[in-house]
């Protein structure tokens, strides 16, 4: 049994990850610190998402906390006709000058994935002249990644058609979450193509070391341009080099010499060199095995066989790349064994009573000696700081959000108005899919009386999407509140007028003091959460903005009234009109969300147009473009310059093209989940009857419209 545990221990010792592998894992976790995104199926869109991480890591990965530099490059090039892509070009130059392809060897998550795939036992294809020639293909891919977004209306060609990191980290990670099951209905031939390409690349990486990195990756091509000038990386001392070729032979990349554009700066060639000609031109803090395995010694005949020695060293390092140098240095092992035996003899002679103190002092002495070593202190400090950064990032991105202040139901006695009868009991229901406004007022408080007109105006604007309850204070100045409401003409409004009492005392729930009259306006949104609470005239003035904010966080579905919003529209004359949801009442309305680069969207819109023309103006139909995927030349220019699958120009369509905005984001309000197309059907009364989260087949669309007409 003892031998078994010894074997287990030896296995773990022999399979400890190298420091480079630890750094790769660290970088992958740091880039994807939003762990909760994998559980929620949502993409992080916080402030740090505007910054680029150094390695290839998809923006759409649920865990990603930063942007991919390659995706950002294509996006900036797409918009370069209207703005110079200074940020991304500057950040790429900065990464290149500081790190070069050290990023590929240490900081690229997809590089780590490729290396782990290569560990799968299989026949391996070693590098040769063909792979060396093929390694230049990534520069062709780089040229295409730059040229296509500039030439073809901002199409991010590499990200859209090639990038396996996007398919694996973005698409598959999102599809793997059960909450995104509706996404499967939206998949088309483009995803099929990218998935097959991913499979080919994954299989290739099992047999070929870093196949994608060597032959395809444009980001590696960019960083390769900086290898000679980067501050960190490996360097070759030509005065020491004996041209034995072992560094090139042991390297799995297609290098011609140490540190060239194909070198990923992994440092694994350093211990292979028998004459210490290869070293780090930057910090050694995070690395191991940076010294030759053995030093050249004179042969019996007085000559040194450097080639044989270097080959032996290379074989030893490749056999145990993650182990200490002592594991492949026989002389060092012999010395250690001799010293161990001597120490054991000393301890045995010292007697049982002094064994433990001697060991304790030895440990303290060893630790003290390490901390007196400047290099060890630097390494220790660096790892402590790195660990602190990672822990801070994990806490920051995954710390539970503070629970919003929510309201429970309250019961009031009502006054007479168009919304309620006098003397009825009204119970607030903050759990339905409506916004609520609690307005605390008094007949003797002038500002609260003056603010009632704004309440009535907002009720008329938002209609059934909001309940407004004007709660009169417990104290009354002797006037009849109902008579006051009738006198002001408020009894014809849809405002619910209610009376607070000592038992409910709702006023005190919001910090009110019965002896200090003041106007309090409370807006309640999704999940009974308080969106805003403001006092006095300020609350009245901000009511419209606070309601808009509350609505933007709501999600409306089947059975709900269409929310209030206005959007600009396009037409063939390039003029802009205003679309409002209130203007569509009285007819069945079809609202389709699309964008110019969405192939399933463009495939279905022709028969949307066909059906719209068949109804001859008896229905409304809008194609609302995404705010986040506007082509560089603008939507109108795209409509003017392109045709549909039937050869019909988009700008000749009779349905209305509209533009969503980031501020309004009606797409999210109506149930959009980061995938297109989505179609909403609204009946003549403004009630949503269908939310279709995928391509709408023609027959199904026709039936949905008929169902809405009959509802």
DSSP letter assigned to residue 465: G
**Comparing 411-552 with 566-710, is the CATH topology the same?**
yes
Share of the chain residues as helix, strand and coil, in percent rounded to the nearest 5: 50, 15, 40
State the fold for domain 566-710.
Glutaredoxin (3.40.30)
Q: Where are the domains of the chain?
A: 18-224, 234-297+304-319, 365-400, 411-552, 566-710
Q: How far apart are CA 247 and CA 148, in angstroms?
A: 38
pLDDT at position 300 is: 45
- Report the DSSP beta bridge partners of residue 436: 467, 524
State the fold for domain 411-552.
Glutaredoxin (3.40.30)
CB 65 within 8 A of CB 33: yes
pLDDT tens, 183-234? 776 677 888 999 999 999 999 999 999 999 999 999 999 999 999 899 999 9
Between helix 543-552 and helix 452-462 the angle, nearest 10°, is 30
User: Residue 331 belongs to what H/E stretch?
Assistant: helix 330-350
Q: 153-188 as b/e, with b when 16 or more CB fall inside 10 Å?
A: bbbbbbbbebbbbbbbbbbebbeebeebeebeebbe
pTM: 0.69
- For 138, residues 6+ apart whose C-beta sits below 8 A from its C-beta are 214, 215, 216, 217, 218, 220, 221
Is the N-terminal amide bond of 677 cis, ω within 30° of 0? yes
* Spans of the chain, pLDDT less than 70: 1, 78-83, 152-154, 185-186, 282-358, 402-406, 431, 572-577, 632
189 C-beta neighbours (distance < 10 Å), count? 9
pLDDT at position 152 is: 67
SS3 of 591, please? strand
491 C-beta neighbours (distance < 10 Å), count? 17
């Amino acid at each position: 049994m003892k031998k078994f545990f010894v074997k287990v221990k030896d296995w773990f010792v022999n399979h400890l990850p190298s420091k480079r592998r630890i750094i790769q894992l660290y970088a992958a976790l740091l880039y994807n610190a939003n762990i909760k995104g994998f559980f929620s199926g949502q993409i992080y869109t916080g402030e740090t998402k505007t910054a680029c991480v150094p390695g290839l890591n998809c923006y759409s990965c649920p865990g990603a906390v930063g942007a991919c530099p390659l995706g950002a490059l294509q996006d900036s090039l797409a918009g370069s006709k209207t703005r110079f892509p200074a940020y991304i070009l500057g950040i790429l130059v900065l990464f290149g000058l500081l790190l070069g392809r050290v990023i590929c060897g240490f900081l690229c998550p997809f590089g780590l994935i490729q290396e782990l795939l290569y560990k799968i036992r299989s026949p391996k294809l070693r590098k040769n002249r063909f792979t060396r020639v093929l390694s230049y293909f990534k520069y062709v891919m780089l040229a295409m990644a730059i040229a296509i977004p500039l030439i073809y209306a901002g199409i991010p060609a590499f990200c859209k058609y090639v990038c396996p990191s996007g398919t694996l980290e973005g698409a598959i990670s999102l599809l793997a979450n059960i909450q995104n099951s509706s996404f499967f209905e939206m998949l088309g031939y483009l995803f099929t193509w990218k998935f097959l390409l991913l499979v080919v690349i994954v299989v290739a990486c099992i047999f070929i070391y870093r196949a994608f990195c060597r032959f395809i990756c444009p980001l590696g091509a960019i960083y390769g341009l900086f290898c000679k000038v980067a501050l960190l990386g490996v360097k070759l001392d030509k005065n020491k080099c004996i041209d034995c070729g072992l560094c090139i032979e042991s390297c799995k990349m297609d290098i011609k010499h140490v540190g060239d554009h194909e070198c990923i700066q992994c440092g694994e060639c350093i211990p292979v060199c028998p004459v210490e000609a290869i070293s780090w031109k930057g910090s050694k803090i995070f690395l191991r095995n940076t010294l030759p395995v053995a030093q050249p010694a004179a042969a019996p005949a007085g000559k040194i066989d450097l080639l044989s020695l270097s080959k032996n060293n290379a074989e030893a390092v490749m056999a145990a790349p993650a182990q200490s140098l002592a594991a492949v240095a026989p002389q060092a092992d012999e010395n250690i064994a001799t010293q161990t035996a001597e120490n054991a003899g000393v301890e045995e002679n010292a007697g049982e009573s002094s064994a433990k103190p001697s060991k304790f002092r030895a440990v303290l002495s060893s630790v003290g000696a390490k901390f007196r070593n400047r290099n060890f202190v630097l390494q220790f400090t660096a790892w402590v700081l790195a660990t602190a950064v990672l822990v801070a990032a994990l806490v920051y991105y995954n710390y539970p959000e503070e629970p919003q202040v929510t309201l429970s139901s309250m019961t009031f006695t009502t006054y007479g108005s168009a919304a309620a009868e006098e003397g009825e009991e009204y119970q607030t229901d903050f759990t339905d899919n409506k916004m609520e406004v609690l307005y605390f007022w008094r007949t003797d408080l002038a500002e609260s009386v003056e603010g009632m007109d704004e309440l009535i105006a907002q009720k008329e604007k938002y209609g059934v999407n909001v309940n407004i309850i004007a709660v009169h204070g417990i104290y009354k100045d002797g006037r009849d509140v109902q008579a006051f409401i009738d006198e002001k003409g408020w009894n014809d409004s849809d405002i619910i007028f209610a009376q607070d009492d000592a038992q409910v005392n709702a006023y005190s729930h919001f910090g009110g003091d019965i002896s200090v009259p003041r106007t309090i306006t409370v807006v309640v949104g999704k999940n009974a959460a308080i969106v805003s609470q403001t006092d006095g005239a300020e609350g009245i003035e901000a009511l419209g903005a606070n309601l808009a904010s509350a609505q933007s966080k709501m999600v409306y579905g089947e059975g709900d009234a269409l929310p209030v919003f206005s959007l600009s529209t396009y037409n063939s004359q390039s003029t802009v009109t205003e679309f409002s949801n209130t203007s569509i009442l009285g007819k069945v309305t079809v609202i389709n969300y699309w964008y110019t680069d969405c192939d399933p969207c463009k495939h279905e819109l022709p028969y949307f147009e066909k059906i719209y023309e068949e109804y001859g103006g008896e229905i409304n139909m809008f194609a609302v473009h995404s705010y986040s995927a506007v082509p560089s030349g603008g939507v109108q220019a795209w409509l003017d310059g392109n045709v549909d699958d039937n050869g019909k120009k988009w700008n000749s369509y009779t349905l209305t093209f509209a533009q969503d905005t980031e501020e309004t984001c009606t797409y999210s309000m109506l149930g959009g989940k980061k995938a297109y197309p989505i179609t909403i059907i609204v009946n003549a009364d403004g009630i949503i009857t269908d939310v279709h989260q995928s391509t709408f087949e023609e027959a199904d669309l026709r039936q949905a419209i008929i169902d809405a007409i009959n509802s």
